Amino acid sequence: MSDSVLAQPMKKYVKPKEFILYLVAIFFYTMMTGTVGSYRNDYLVNVISLSENEVTLFNTLTSIIPFVLNFFIAMYIDGRKKGKSGKFRPLALLVAIPTGILLVFSFYAPKGLTGTMLMVYLVTVAVAWAVCTNFGDCVNKVAIVMTPNLEERDNVISFRSIVSAVGNSAPLVVELVIALMVKDKAIRYIAVASLCSVFGIITMLLGMKTVQERVTYTNEKKNPLVGYGDVLKNKYAWAIIISEFLKSFRGVSTYMGIFLAEALLGPGKFLLFGLPTGIGTAVGMLLINFLLKKFNSKVLYIASGIYSVIANTAAFAIGYTYFKNPSPALQIVFILFLFLIGLQFGASNLLPTMFQADVLEDIELKTGKRLDASLPFVIGIFTMISGTIASALAPQILYGTKVPIIEYVQAVNGVAQEQSLHTKIMLLFFYTVVHGIMMFLAGVPFFFYKLTGKTKEEMHEKLLKQREEYNK
């Protein structure tokens, strides 16, 4: 039977050194994933100059294929026995080096590859990267099992989310520094990926060697397919599923970020665009952490959706005015509004993780199963559908010719082209207003979510007693 520490409600389990090294690992792991999230779209469009149809095909394949593979990955992870090293730590250690290597290859295309062979290469690398990050997400899952203390668990999750937000913006700093020395985007992206890869590998290995998994749960072997059914039967899980399904349509908006940044500030200035949002996200999480002492998570999530509509609409109005009548003052005001937009991510990044942790415990109480990978996979079924639609539509909206919408002009020989006023305004509209609407809709399902406050605390206490039975 597992030698995990039994829960004592007020006892603190996580040691300071362990906590710090874990957060360092999270920072640099997210720095790796943030590099792909921030720059791969621009790499495909403006460095290797794929057409809008090729980008749509790439986005569709790299959404569907990893999802199918993740069906088996999730069953494997949830079916693993918790050994002396834990359930998640060994997997995170195993994929640290491959993840770093594939990050570099995500921004490297061998000379001479064109057409179908180039697409096969790009998709293969992207799918392998997705598989590694599916396993690598165990770095994030560790936060849920580092302590059986509910308050301490939520604290670890909160700081993990804050550090993730900062880490996600870190590649922007690296890219800006390298851009001062290197003008060629292809070389620049390889350099950014290489630096992030080295630091990511080292810190993942160090952090995962240090942390401990302390939550006790049964190692009884059960049919992994039944676990998916248990998730679908849970009424609280459905609030998250529907919310994340709607939220993933914002992928159309986030896709436009780097292109809007160049239109607004010029090439190589994505940091000035993304950093205020990243700082706003971190501040937003700290604010949410404070507000959780006064309001429940459900209320805060719904309120953040309303705030998102207001902040994004105001940002659009400022940006629209700037594009019509350019001035340094309006440019600065718009950048300040990016900070205000970032505040909304405090709720959208932090609270769903807490909701999932609570639903995992509710399912465990009712079924006796820990479904740490199955729950995200089931949620992923629906986010894959909406995310695939969003990623397939985004390049068509950006620079498609059949139904012109934004009418973005691709770079020529690596040189960014001047965009029309119409293009700039439409980029701004999709990045702000559409995003705000999706965030508002994501909050609507939580009007029906009840696993908060006393209900959540009573459920957790019952689960602690149930876990004690595992050690008898």
As a whole number of angstroms, the distance between CA 423 and CA 87 comes to: 49
- Give the CATH number, domain containing residue 52: 1.20.1250.20
Residue 330 lies in a domain: yes
Under a CB-based contact definition with an 8 Å cutoff, are residues 431 and 253 in contact? Answer: yes
What does the pLDDT read at residue 84? 77
Phi, psi of 83 (to 5 degrees): -85, -165
Euclidean distance between CA atoms 450 and 313, whole angstroms: 30
Predicted pLDDT of residue 8: 47
- Condensed to tens digits (0 to 9), the pLDDT of residues 270-283 reads 667 778 888 888 89
Residue 10 included in any domain: no
Sequence-distant (≥ 6) Cβ neighbours of residue 302 within 8 angstroms: 443, 444, 446, 447
In a domain, 2, yes or no: no
**What average pLDDT does the chain have?**
88
Ramachandran region of residue 407, left (φ > 0), alpha (ψ -120 to 50) or beta?
left
Q: What confidence score (pLDDT) does residue 235 get?
A: 93
Q: What is the DSSP string of 179-191?
A: HTT---HHHHHHH
Q: What confidence tens digit (pLDDT) does each residue in 96-111 have?
A: 999 999 999 999 999 8
3-state secondary structure 39-83: HHHHHHHHHCCCCHHHHHHHHHHHHHHHHHHHHHHHHHHHHCCCE
Q: What is the pTM of this model?
A: 0.76
Alpha-carbon span 350 to 342, nearest angstrom: 13
Task: Tell me what pLDDT residue 10 has.
Answer: 62
Taking only the tens place, the pLDDT of each residue in 327-375 is 889 888 988 898 999 898 888 888 998 899 899 999 989 988 888 888 9
Q: What pLDDT, on the 0 to 100 scale, is given for residue 7?
A: 42
The per-residue pLDDT for 221 is 58
- Parent domain of 50: 16-470
The answer as to whether 284 is a domain residue is yes
Backbone φ and ψ for 412, nearest 5 degrees, come out as: -115, 115
User: Block means of pLDDT (10 residues each) for the chain, length 472 residues?
Assistant: 43 90 95 89 89 91 91 83 81 95 95 91 96 92 87 87 86 87 90 95 95 75 76 94 95 88 72 80 88 90 95 94 89 89 88 90 88 88 91 89 85 77 93 95 94 88 81 60
Residue 3 in domain:
no
Residues 47 and 411: their CA atoms lie apart, in Å, by: 8
Supply 332's token pair.
């600065």
Domain count within the chain: 1
CB contact at 8 A, 300 and 291: yes
Q: What is the largest CA-CA distance in the chain?
A: 73
pLDDT at 267: 65
Question: Per the domain annotation, does 377 fall within a domain?
Answer: yes
